[in-house]
């Protein structure tokens, strides 16, 4: 299992979604902003309490979660 120091899971914060360092910013928010074309510097400007390492670890966490999924592929 991968080790992520900046990703936290707390049922009392954001409904238990993966968050950055216990803040009310989810990994999904960060990855979604990047997917929408926002640059890391734009994200850091919008969320000044985040750090570049938070963005990097959010991407690494998302990639790890995708690799851990098992999906049945149909042969059709």
Phi then psi for 20, rounded to 5 degrees?
-90, 115
Inside any domain, residue 53: yes
Domain count, the chain: 1
- Asked if residue 2 is part of any domain, the answer here is no
Half-sphere exposure of 24 (CA within 13 A, CB side): 4
6-20 pLDDT, tens digit each: 999 999 999 999 999
* Per-residue pLDDT tens digits for 18-58: 999 999 999 999 999 999 999 999 999 999 999 999 999 99
What is the pTM for the complete model shown?
0.84
R_g of the chain computed on alpha carbons: 14
Provide the residue range defining the domain that includes 19: 7-64
- CA 23 to CA 21: how far, in whole Å? 5
CA distances (Å), 14 to each of 7, 10, 32, 38, in order?
Answer: 13, 8, 16, 22
At residue 67, the pLDDT reads: 84
State phi, psi for 7 to the nearest 5 degrees: -100, 125
**pLDDT on residue 71:** 63
Q: What is the pLDDT of residue 2?
A: 77
Q: Is residue 69 part of a domain?
A: no
Structural domain includes residue 58: yes
User: What's residue 40's pLDDT?
Assistant: 98
CATH number, residue 15: 1.10.10.10
Residue 44 in domain? yes
Q: Note whether residue 39 is domain-resident.
A: yes
């Amino acid at each position: 299992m991968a080790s992520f120091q900046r990703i936290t899971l707390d049922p009392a914060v954001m409904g238990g979604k993966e968050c950055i360092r216990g803040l009310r910013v989810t990994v999904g928010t960060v990855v979604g902003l990047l997917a929408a074309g926002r640059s890391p510097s734009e994200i850091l400007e919008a969320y000044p309490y985040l750090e570049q390492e938070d963005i990097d670890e959010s991407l690494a966490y998302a990639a790890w979660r995708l690799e851990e999924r098992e999906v049945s592929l149909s042969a059709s």
